[in-house]
Amino acid sequence: MDSAHQSFDPPVGIAQKIAPNLRRILAPNPSPMTFRGTNTYLLGSSDLAIIDPGPDQLTQLRAVKAALQGTKNHPYSGHPLAS
């Protein structure tokens, strides 16, 4: 693994602003397929899109819900986190 990959180590379960109107939450599911974990992206501010909500785990659900405080959201009902 090269040094660029080694340096990618965001905190798990905390929404981090990575660009204007774009935040990332790293899920607690590291694996060969997800590397450090699934990256959940919150795109927008008051109305937003959740891109890849991550695994159906209580800690991930809590992290996404905490990041959504004060926003309007319309979850996609086909994903377990939307239930």
Q: What is the pTM (predicted TM-score) of this model?
A: 0.78
What confidence score (pLDDT) does residue 72 get? Answer: 62
Note whether residue 43 is domain-resident. yes
Note whether residue 2 is domain-resident. no
Note whether residue 25 is domain-resident. yes
Tell me, letter by letter, the H, E, C secondary structure of 52-69.
CCCCCCHHHHHHHHHHCC
In 10 A of CB 50, how many CB atoms? 22
Would the pLDDT of 34 be above 60?
Answer: yes
Give the residue-averaged pLDDT of 70-78: 55
Would the pLDDT of 1 be above 70?
Answer: no
Note whether residue 76 is domain-resident. yes
Note whether residue 1 is domain-resident. no
- pLDDT, one tens digit per residue, over 40-70 is 999 998 788 999 999 999 999 999 999 988 6
What total number of domains does the chain contain? 1
Would the pLDDT of 76 be above 80?
Answer: no
Expressed as residue numbers, the domain containing 72 is 9-82
d(CA 50, CA 33): 20
